[in-house]
Amino acid sequence: MVDTEAAEGLRVCDLLAPGRTEWDDSRLHQLFGAHLAERIRSLPVPGCKGPDVRVWDTSCRASVRLGDLSRVIQRGQDCAWIWRSGLHPRAALFLWKVMWDRLPTRAVLSRRGLGIPAECGACGADESVDHVLFRCTWARSTWQWTGIPEEVWQERRLFLQLIRQWLASPGTCQEAIRATCTAHQIWLARNARTFGERRMSPRFVAESARALAMESRLPTPSDIPLIARDTWGSFSAQAASRTVFFT
């Protein structure tokens, strides 16, 4: 578990051993815990001296703080497509959290030492992101009600890969929106069930996701009002301004 209060305001050089260009093992362990400290130690330490500079990580739009070093460690994932997809920011943020395994599932909260059981409240298995969205018996029942092919919702990485492909094509963009809505509604229903607000059936969640996706559909030429210039000119300017809406 990261001690965010103790880490507030620290610089990378503050985590190095005094007078040496190597990590301070005891301080890393104190601030970040054994697991994350081990991953930080695997990062090379710059050998040159100089002032700290702020750098944007190319794989995400979030600013990187000292307490979020784990995000920098997981390099190689390109999630810029999420922000370029035209999805509503809430949908884009949800997909970003799914990609980076940032949903606060029971397993995640349990590893952070919050005293929460790691087991899924619906079926008793370890509640990871993959489990809660795709492998739980309750989630699978919801996906089956949608009619979306099973290959789409087998596991997290394949889901994200297909969503990325579908969003890039006008012919499959609407299915990508519906699949995204379904995953998001499964997560929201899980939250409601966990916090005792209400219990929803898989069929109800699937139909809610379908209705939401229809409201969020990609506009077609017939949906866009014409002005005099459009009557006599090209429609390309309108086509170029299409945006995927998500409410």
pLDDT at position 29: 79
pTM for the full predicted model: 0.60
pLDDT in tens, 102-146: 899 999 888 888 888 888 888 888 999 999 999 999 999 999 999
Query: Which of 243, 141, 116 is CA-nearest to residue 200?
Result: 141
pLDDT in tens, 31-90: 877 777 777 777 777 555 555 555 555 444 444 444 444 444 444 467 788 888 878 788
pLDDT at position 54: 56
Percent of the chain with pLDDT over 90: 35
pLDDT at position 232: 34
pLDDT at position 42: 73
Instruction: Kindly state the average pLDDT of the residues 187-202.
Output: 89
Percent of the chain with pLDDT over 70: 70
What's the mean pLDDT when you consider all of the chain? 76
* CA 32 to chain centroid: 22
Domain ranges of the chain: 4-73, 80-221
pLDDT at position 132: 95
Instruction: Kindly state the average pLDDT of the residues 140-156.
Output: 94
8 A C-beta contact, residue 144 and residue 115: no
8 A C-beta contact, residue 190 and residue 132: yes
**Helix axis angle, 202-215 relative to 137-146, nearest 10°?**
50
